[in-house]
Structure 1
Amino acid sequence: MVPRLLLGARLRALREARGILPEHAGYAIRASHSKISRIELGRVRFKERDVADLLTLYGVIDPSERAPLLELARQTNAPSWWQRYGDVVPGWYEAYLGMEEAASSLRTYELQLVPSLLQTGDYARAVIRLRHPFASEEEVERRVQVRAIRQRRVAFEEPFTGGDRPKLWAVLDEAILHRPFRDRTMMRAQIQHLIEMADSPGVGLRILPLGAGGYPAAGSFTLLRFDDPDLPEVVYLEQIASANYLDRPDDVELYTRVWDECTAASRPDKTTQLLRRLLRDI
């Protein structure tokens, strides 16, 4: 997925440097302007012919400049681990999985449920059955496997940047942990898991307490940041059967400000204490 993101970002930079509109770029490869947007966001596979035509349109003629970009185009079609789960991973979600792995940090705010990267197996099964009430046991287990793989590859990996910062930052509304959900045993295990994750060097966890009062987050969201300077920060907004990806600087700035206000209202030194109190009260 990283080659796809990199190539998309570089094609976008080349197009904007030449002052070419997405509509004109789309015409050059016999496609719509919306496909150009998906290409530049790394959300679709690349055809080498399309990349070659775009490079020509953008004035990249020198073979030494074209070669590395065309090689990136070939790399974008390499298989990803989630393709083995194509029956339970929808196409609109594949782009996020790639971004999630490529990101140097993820900052997620959750209003309704424990974030999927921090769920226990039983909690994940309960959430999946809630969202897919007619799914077979085999399908449920395959969806649980996808979450478990994501957790191993993202939430449980070693911290980056020299081991001094976590990759995953999460703020959970305390109401999530008070809401009746299946049974007490499952919720106790989930809260115990959050306590363990709060002590993990790869996770920065905070609970936004009920007494925090009003704050500007109207729904759940995830901010993804990448090390490569060519890749813009992205806001991921998941819906029931689709998702939105925002990368306009104004949008990213807005959600970053909301994130900062949510973290300011949640004290990290109180998170484990609050979780232990909740565990005792269940």
Structure 2
Amino acid sequence: MRAKFRRNPEIRHFRGRAELGDYAYGATVAKRRLSRRLAEFRINAGYTASHVCDALDWGRGKVGRFEANQWKRPEMSDIRDLIRIYAIEAGERQEVEELAVRCRVRPWWRDYGEIFDSEFPGYENDASSIRVYMPLAIPALLQTPAYMQAQLRTTPHAPAFRRKAAEARLRRQRILDRTDGTAPYLRAVITEASLLYQWGERDDRRKQLEHLVRLSRRCNVELRIQRFDDGPPAGIYSMVHILGFSEHDEPPLVFVATDYSIDEVRDPEAAGGYIQSFGRAYDAALAPADSTAYLEKLAQQME
């Protein structure tokens, strides 16, 4: 199934994901799709990457970087050169050009270069489904500002960095609030450990629990609690994000978070292992309704 587009000088659409002003839905996935499509067209045309570079008088490696998605924004002149040399036909040419236009929209997270060292927030922004497991912390998409501040104060970063990081997390959370049909479906497995740490004021901790209760009642959010009474984590100990996309030919992406970065798991076997491990943790945790009741009980104990 190919991406469909409608042209408009103010609002562009990428498979139903609207972009207005500085807020782009779809730019990161569009760049990934464009990289893959260009590689397919080159192979179908019978060219090597070096042959194309020579034919276009480009430096060696440029085509390889495009196809490896190691670029920020494609130049339209480069895309048209590739369309010409690959003899891409009219219908597919429009698809490629529209993908390139979408790629060139500046996503919001580019303004937080000191916070993000990968394209993870872009993929999260574009995902139609998100699965997340964090053994010792509440996932960023579910944190209150007070929790963010308490967590960030434990880091060695300067106050200015912490303020910027909290601002970026709040911006990330806005994906759950979309009302145009593009809000992702979030499945989060939350450990009891992450809920019972002593941080901030008692009232702050109660408000974080109440926030989780409210989120758990949304139609696009599913929370499951992994309790101490249910034994050790079922086969997963890493901080994992699994991002799925609405396009059937877009494979899911797996990211593992560390203290310093969120890195893509590029090895297919390892990525598959994380997906299976998340499934075991998900199945072993409390069901959504029971998780909501458990969160309500914890919040009441804070009153």
Tell whether the structures are fold-level matches, with TM greater than 0.5: yes
Equivalent positions of 1:190-269 (< 5 A) are 190-214=208-232, 215-246=234-265, 248-268=267-287, 269=289
Please tell me the residue identity of whatever aligns with 1:276: E
- Runs of 5+ unmatched residues, structure 2: 1-26
CA distance in 2, matches of 1:251, 1:13: 25
Residues 107 and 169 of structure 1 are in contact (CA less than 8 Å); yes or no, is this contact kept in structure 2?
yes
Equivalent positions of 1:26-45 (< 5 A) are 30-31=60-61, 35-36=65-66, 38-39=68-69, 44-45=72-73
3-state secondary structure, aligned to 1:201: coil
Change in Cα spacing, 1:131 to 1:253, as seen in structure 2 (3 Å) is same
Quote the residue 1:275 is aligned against: 295
Residues 38 and 67 of structure 2 are in contact (CA less than 8 Å); yes or no, is this contact kept in structure 1?
no
Change in Cα spacing, 1:259 to 1:54, as seen in structure 2 (3 Å) is farther
Displacement, 1:259?
1.4
Change in Cα spacing, 1:102 to 1:24, as seen in structure 2 (3 Å) is farther
Say which of 98, 104, 110 aligns to 2:134: 110
Quote the residue 1:177 is aligned against: 195
Q: Deviations over 1:10-45 (max 9, x none)?
A: 2344467679888988997533798356417xx633
3-state secondary structure, aligned to 1:39: coil
Displacement, 1:128?
2.3
Change in Cα spacing, 1:239 to 1:26, as seen in structure 2 (3 Å) is farther
3-state secondary structure, aligned to 2:169: helix
Change in Cα spacing, 1:61 to 1:34, as seen in structure 2 (3 Å) is closer
Change in Cα spacing, 1:202 to 1:111, as seen in structure 2 (3 Å) is same
Residues 50 and 60 of structure 2 are in contact (CA less than 8 Å); yes or no, is this contact kept in structure 1?
no
Structure with the bigger percentage of helix:
1
Q: Deviations over 1:240-273 (max 9, x none)?
A: 3333213554333222211110111112232022
C-alpha RMSD over aligned residues? 3.3
Identity of aligned residues (%): 25
CA distance in 2, matches of 1:5, 1:60: 19
Displacement, 1:61?
1.4
CA distance in 2, matches of 1:258, 1:233: 15
Residues 126 and 182 of structure 1 are in contact (CA less than 8 Å); yes or no, is this contact kept in structure 2?
yes
Quote the residue 1:60 is aligned against: 86
Change in Cα spacing, 1:261 to 1:158, as seen in structure 2 (3 Å) is farther
Segment of structure 1 superposing worse, 199-208 or 68-77 = 68-77
Counterpart check, 1:142 vs 2:177: no
3-state secondary structure, aligned to 1:255: helix
Counterpart check, 1:157 vs 2:167: no
Q: Deviations over 1:117-155 (max 9, x none)?
A: 11111111222222354223xx43333222222212x12
Q: Deviations over 1:161-203 (max 9, x none)?
A: 9x9xx61111111111122223322211111111111111121
Change in Cα spacing, 1:173 to 1:19, as seen in structure 2 (3 Å) is farther
3-state secondary structure, aligned to 2:159: coil
- Runs of 5+ unmatched residues, structure 1: none
Displacement, 1:99?
0.8
CA distance in 1, matches of 2:168, 2:189: 22
CA distance in 2, matches of 1:251, 1:23: 31
Counterpart check, 1:120 vs 2:144: yes
CA distance in 1, matches of 2:87, 2:291: 56
Segment of structure 1 superposing worse, 65-74 or 229-238 = 65-74
Change in Cα spacing, 1:279 to 1:147, as seen in structure 2 (3 Å) is same
Residues 226 and 284 of structure 2 are in contact (CA less than 8 Å); yes or no, is this contact kept in structure 1?
yes
Displacement, 1:80?
1.8
CA distance in 1, matches of 2:157, 2:278: 33
Structure 1: which 4+ aligned runs deviate by more than 6 Å?
Answer: 16-28
CA distance in 2, matches of 1:7, 1:172: 35
CA distance in 2, matches of 1:184, 1:117: 21
Displacement, 1:74?
3.6
